[in-house]
Each structure stands twice: as C-alpha cells, then as structure tokens.
Structure 1
C-alpha cells in the first residue's frame, strides 16, 4: 500500500464526520439526533467512493442529512476532508460493507438512497453482489421510509437493464428511467452532479443510465 493511502487511512480515523465499523452501530436509529444533532431526513449514497455526490447534495440541501457509505477509507477521505474544510455540517461518512447495512440503520430511518456508479459486477457468478440484487433491495426496503425512493446512476448498460428487470419482477414502482440521461428531460441540478468516474465516462462519449424507483 502506498504512503498516500496509509496516510489517508490514518487521517480518516481521526475525522469527526467519519464512523467506522462497530463505531457506527452505536448510531443505529439515531443518526439525525446523535451525529447531526437535528431531526432532518437522512439520505444515503451507497458505494460513495470519494463522496462527490454526498458532498454536493449536502451543499444543495442544507435542510437534509447526507451519509456516504463505502468500505474504502482512502476514498472516503476525500469527501470527508472536503466537508470538514468547508464546514459542511450535514455530511457524514460510514466505512462498512454495504451488505451489513441493517446493523447500522433502523427500520424507516432513511428517506432516500443514491447508488452512483457502483461496481456493476458483470460476471453471472457475482450477480448477488450487485447493489440492486433483490437481497440488497430487501435491506433498502427495510431502512427506507414508506415513500422512500432509490436512485441508480450508472454507465453500465447491463446493470441498468438488470435493475429494470428486477423492478418489474418484484412489482416495484418505477418513477423514471432513461438510458441516456443527458439527452433526456430528466436532468436537473441534482442529476447533473458528476463524479470523477462519470466525467471520465462522458469524456469517452459513454451514455449515462438512470433509474428512480420505490417499494410503494
């Protein structure tokens, strides 16, 4: 592991806006009250990487709380440091494996979920690791409020199609779908937030897929 990664791992452990592993379990059911000291809605970005979406959403919506979730501390470091440097108080990060999310959030604690450019896990043998596989969807359904929505942005056409298929199979409520976001009427200030990877995809003339759905 490079010196930069080691330094970031060490630094991120000292950040007040980052919770890691068992430490985050203590906040289950009380994220707004215990971490953010308010009663604002909680929104998650799963597989947040460097946290660009988390931080930019927090800038746009100071009346809501945003938590970026990822397992790679050296990536989380970037978003967490930006939030600290800019004194963005409605941002937190949680370093965990997403499959364990029920250990960290209670029933109906989350109002919205963003999944932005996750690993598409294209191999059939890794289908269960896709973040929109039914085993993950069941977890999201539990932690979301009744009217809560899930957003997926991805450059991967296969993951987009897989997710749309599962939405139909499970009888979920599809609110929006496009295979080319920036040529659609859906794009707005929120959907036009671009992550590091999205900028690379767009520079290569790659289409960006988007889905929005709910369980009710």
Structure 2
C-alpha cells in the first residue's frame, strides 16, 4: 500500500464528515440510522445519496449547487472518496458527508422514508452473467433502495455502459417502474431537459476518461414502484 493511500486512510479517521462503521456496527442498530438530518446535518433538508461515489465529484458538485439539500457519498474505498471529503471539509461545506461501507448494507444505515434521491454514477456494469446480482440496478438493489426512499423519491443512473443502460431500461419497463426520462447520449442529443440537475455540468473522473475515449454517456431517471 502506497504512503499516500495510508495517509488518506489516517486522515479519514479524523475528518468530521467521514463515517466508517464496522460491519458489526451496521448490523446492530447503527445510531445514525434515521438520524442523519438531526445528528449530522443539523437540519430537515432532503437527503441525497451517491452510490459508488469514487472520488466524490458528484456529491461535492451537487452539494455546492444545491445548498438546500444534504448529500452523502457512499463507497467502500475510503482512499478514493478522501478527495471529496477533504475538499468539502476545507471549503467549509456542511451539507455533504461520506460513508464508507458496502452498498449491500445500505438499508442498515438509513431508515424508511429517510432518503429523497439516489445517484448511481458510473458503476461497474458487472457484465458477466454470474455477476448479475452485483449490478447496482439489479432488482435486489432496487428493493433495498425502496426500503429507505420516500414514495416519490427519484433514482438517477449515469453510465458509459450501453449494456447497463439497456439492462436497466429493459428491467424497469418490464417491472412497471416509472421511467421519467432516458437519454442514450446526453452530450450528442440536441435536446437538454431543463429539469435534469447538472447532468452535463458535473463530470466525474471516470466520465472524463470515458468521454475522452469517445464513449457515449447515457442517463436514466426513474422511480421505484
């Protein structure tokens, strides 16, 4: 393990906007479950999650643009989201936090109706059939999201994977979920839906890499029924 990564792990331990519970803590009534607004953000504003947040660009970018909302970036790789956590802390941003955990445990960290919105930005598409259940838009994951989201909560999927885009769109249509909008190329399409929040303006590290290689960036916004 490189010295820089070790240093990031150590700094994450003291950053006030980073939470790193153990699996045991997650499974035994995690104290922040149902209390993120009261105990972390000190307000009653909506909560937005970014799943697989990587370096946290979307969490921080959205938090800057929407100070009236609370954002939580979630990833198992703390050395990555350190970048976002450090920027947010240095900038004095009080509406963004980071949670180090596996997304499979998400319902242990948030109570029913606690989450207003979820962003899934450039997840591993898990193309191999034996990895199907690891796709973040697999029905098992959607069931987890439904447990913690408000009834009218919205999920955003932004990906360079045409496979994952197609898989998700097909499943949502077949299962009767509410597809609000879907774009097969957010940069190539002439139309730009006004209601879509900063879809082009915020780019993750991976989005920049993919776009530089000429890969198409897709987007779906939907509600889980």
- Asked if TM exceeds 0.5, the reply is yes
TM-score (norm 2): 0.93
1:27 corresponds to which residue?
32
Q: Which residue of 1 aligns with 2:79?
A: 74
Q: Deviations over 1:140-181 (max 9, x none)?
A: 111110100100000001011111111012110000111101
Counterpart CA distance in 1 for 2:47 and 2:192 is 23
Q: Give ranges in structure 1 of 5+ residues lacking alignment.
A: none
Which of 186, 192, 217 pairs up with 1:186? 192
Instruction: Using the TM superposition, give the Cα deviation of residue 11 of structure 1 relative to its aligned residue in structure 2, in angstroms.
Output: 0.8
**Distance (whole Å) between structure 2 residues aligned to residue 61 and residue 175 of structure 1:** 21
1:147 equivalent in alignment to 2:152: yes
Matched, 1:17 2:17: yes
Shift of 1:21: 2.0
TM-score of the superposed pair, with normalisation by structure 1:
0.97
Q: What's the CA shift for 1:52?
A: 0.1
Aligned to 1:37: 42
Q: Which runs of 5+ in 2 are unaligned?
A: none
Q: Among 197, 205, 211, which residue is 1:196 paired with?
A: 205
- Correspondence 1:27-66 to 2 at 5 A: 27-66=32-71
Q: Which one of 100, 123, 134 corresponds to residue 118 of structure 1? A: 123
- The runs of at least 4 aligned residues of structure 1 exceeding 4 Å deviation read none
For 2:64 and 2:109, the matched residues in 1 are separated by 24
Secondary structure of 1:142's counterpart equals: helix
Partner of 2:220: 211
Return the offset for 1:189.
5.5
- Aligned partner of 2:138 among 128, 133, 142: 133
Mean CA deviation greater in 183-192 or 40-49: 183-192
Query: What are the Cα deviations for residues 80-124 of structure 1, in whole angstroms up to 9, with x where unaligned?
Result: 000011111100000000000011001110000000001111111
Supply the distance in 2 between the matched residues of 1:156 and 1:38 (Cα, whole angstroms).
Answer: 37
Q: Distance in 2 between matches of 1:126 and 1:70?
A: 19
Local SS of the residue matching 1:15? coil
Distance in 2 (CA, whole Å) between partners of 1:15 and 1:83 is: 10
- Which residue of structure 2 lines up, in the alignment, with residue 103 of structure 1? 108
Give me the whole-angstrom Cα distance separating, in 2, the residues matched to 1:84 and 1:183. Answer: 35
Tell me the secondary structure at the aligned position of residue 50 of structure 1.
Answer: coil
Deviation at 1:39, TM superposition (A): 0.6
Displacement after TM superposition at 1:190 (Å): 1.1
RMSD value over aligned CA atoms?
1.2
